[in-house]
Amino acid sequence: MKILVMKFRNIGDVLLVSPLVNNLKYHYPNALIDIAVNRGTEEMITLHPAINDVIIYDRSNIKKQNIFKQLLLELQFAFQIRSSKYDMVINTTEGDRGAQLAWLSGASITIGHRPKKNRLLQNTFTHLLPKQGLRHTIETNLDVLRVLNLKIIEKKVNIFWKKDDEDIDLPEEFIHIHPVSRWMFKCISDKTMAQIIDYCELELSQKVVLTAAPIKEELKKVDSILKLCKSEPLNFSGQYTLKQTAALNKKAKAFIGVDTAIMHISAANNIPILAFFGPSGADHWGPWDNDLFESEYLTRRGFRIMGKHRVLQENWECIPCGKDGCDGTKVSDCLMNLDIEFIKYNIKEIIDAKKD
């Protein structure tokens, strides 16, 4: 049997599909399971022992081409899928592209969400996935098992790397802080982040290791934070791949950061997390505790705990809004004036629990 799982979204989204892959391999142990993802997200799923092949859709490159070249590249990608002769094709996200590929695949079993735009694709899927509602994204990925009447065996998120990715000179004990996101409206104020770093270093005597993607905006943000710091954390921003950052994170005592893929990597590594949420909902995207089987993000906003992980979010009525900042500013007001004393209290509790 050949199975294709499609996840054409961002880095963190791809990582959260791993529980589905694990369960599919359990129920179809002899199946070849491939996964199709956007270029730039593949490190979240490569080296997974249950994955046969990772098929990369080069979305950004295709968009750069003229309309005729775009059409040619899209057809080539679709032909690649069809020529693989899959028995089951699963589109885990809403959108016409996945529905089109599922329709063209020729698979006898197709699973996905009903397309919203293209009426010609309304009957593409043999099995329809329900809406997400207030459930965690891991649960919606696992809806694939539910519509197939298969038991959900586990809900663990996994990430894998090579031994060479661990060749990073690190302190014996440290707190990993990833203060930025590709979406700047998810970031807390530079002043608050600098206070957090100083608290960890100067008051808790815990070395801080900073990371960020090798992206100009993120590196600039880190520099701005460092200028406000009284301490001298180790700054590895822009230096490591996602796999190397995951290997680094695995050695940390705790993780502090915003709603980003590195937060989900930390959860996969079972590292205690303090995460700051603004426009996005923790009910959908909160860090998942691998030691638990059910989500504990039962409210839409405010401070929440799931096992070893904590989400700090204001309890404002407008949260979660899903917008890229307030009034088009690309800055989220709900993340600008967080209670630093409450943050310190939670950091100390996490560190003290780690000592026990």
Task: Output the pLDDT for position 120.
Answer: 72
Give the pLDDT confidence of 4-39 residue by residue, as tens digits. 999 999 999 999 999 999 999 999 999 999 999 999
**Of 147, 179, 205, the domain-final residue:** 147
Lowest mean pLDDT among 116-120, 334-338, 348-352: 116-120
Instruction: Give the separation between CA 44 and CA 184, rounded to whole angstroms.
Output: 22
Residues 141 and 270 in one domain: no
Q: Which residue is it, tokens 């701005």?
A: 224
Average pLDDT over residues 90-101: 89
What's the one-letter identity of residue 349? E
Q: Which of 121, 147, 173 is the last residue of a domain?
A: 147
pLDDT(217) > 80:
yes
Residue 243 lies in a domain: yes
The pTM for the full model equals 0.95
Look at residues 147, 175, 207 and tell me which one is the last residue of a structural domain: 147
Do 198 and 116 fall into the same domain?
no
Chain position carrying tokens 């100067």: 202
Task: Tell me: do 318 and 179 sit in the same domain.
Answer: yes
Other Cβ atoms within 10 Å of 311 Cβ, number: 24
Instruction: State how many domains the chain has.
Output: 2
DSSP per-residue codes, 67-78: HHHHHHHHHHHH
**Please, what is the average pLDDT of the chain?**
94
Among 265, 207, 258, smallest CA distance to 236 is for 207
> What is the number of other CB atoms lying within 10 angstroms of the CB of residue 116?
12
- On whether residue 167 sits in a domain, the answer given is yes
User: How far apart are the C-alpha atoms of 125 and 142, rounded to whole Å?
Assistant: 17
Token pair recorded at residue 44: 């979240």
Same structural domain, 142 and 102:
yes
Q: 169: which residues sit within 8 A by CB, 6+ positions away?
A: none
C-alpha to C-alpha distance for 208 and 27, rounded to whole angstroms:
42
Tens digits of residue pLDDT in 230-263: 999 999 999 999 999 999 999 999 999 999 999 9
Residues 211 and 336 in one domain: yes
Reported as half-sphere exposure (CB side, CA atoms, 13 A), residue 116 has a value of 4
* pLDDT tops 80 at residue 92: yes
CA distance 252 to 266: 9
Q: Tokens at residue 175, please?
A: 């707190």
Q: What is the mean pLDDT of residues 320-349?
A: 94
Q: What is the pLDDT of residue 356?
A: 63
Query: pLDDT value at position 97?
Result: 84
The reply to whether 201 and 313 lie within a common domain is yes
Residue 225 sits in the same domain as residue 349: yes
127-171 per-position pLDDT tens digit: 999 999 999 999 999 999 999 999 999 999 999 999 999 999 999
* Same structural domain, 241 and 335: yes
Asked if residues 91 and 100 have their Cβ atoms less than 8 Å apart, the reply is no
The pLDDT of residue 22 is: 98
The pLDDT score that the predictor gives to residue 117 is 73
Do residues 96 and 178 share a domain?
A: no
> Which residues on adjacent β-strands are paired with residue 304?
311
Task: Give the pLDDT confidence of 266-303 residue by residue, as tens digits.
Answer: 999 999 999 999 999 999 999 999 999 999 999 999 99
- Report if residue 158 sits inside a domain: no
> CA 204 → CA 149, 200, 342, 347, 349, distances in Å?
50, 5, 15, 9, 11
CATH code of the domain in which 83 resides = 3.40.50.2000
Task: Please say whether the beta carbons of 271 and 287 come within 8 A.
Answer: no
Domain hosting residue 13, numbered range: 2-147
Report the distance separating Cα 328 and Cα 101, nearest Å: 35
Do 141 and 264 lie in a common domain?
no
What's the half-sphere exposure (Cβ side, CA atoms, 13 Å) at 356? 6
Q: What percent of the chain has pLDDT over 90?
A: 86
**Structure token pair of residue 63:** 């968009």
Is residue 294 exposed (0-12), middle (13-18) or buried (19+ Cβ within 10 Å)?
exposed
Report residue 62's pLDDT band, with 50, 70 and 90 as the boundaries. Answer: confident
Residue 193 lies in a domain: yes
- Asked if 46 and 11 touch (Cβ cutoff 8 Å), the reply is no
* Residues 40 and 136 grouped into a single domain: yes
Sign of CA dihedral 96, 100, 105, 109: positive
In a domain? residue 154: no
Q: Is 176 helix (H, G, I), strand (E, B) or coil?
A: strand
Both 196 and 273 in one domain: the answer is: yes
The beta-strand segments (E) located in 186-261 are 208-210, 234-235, 254-258
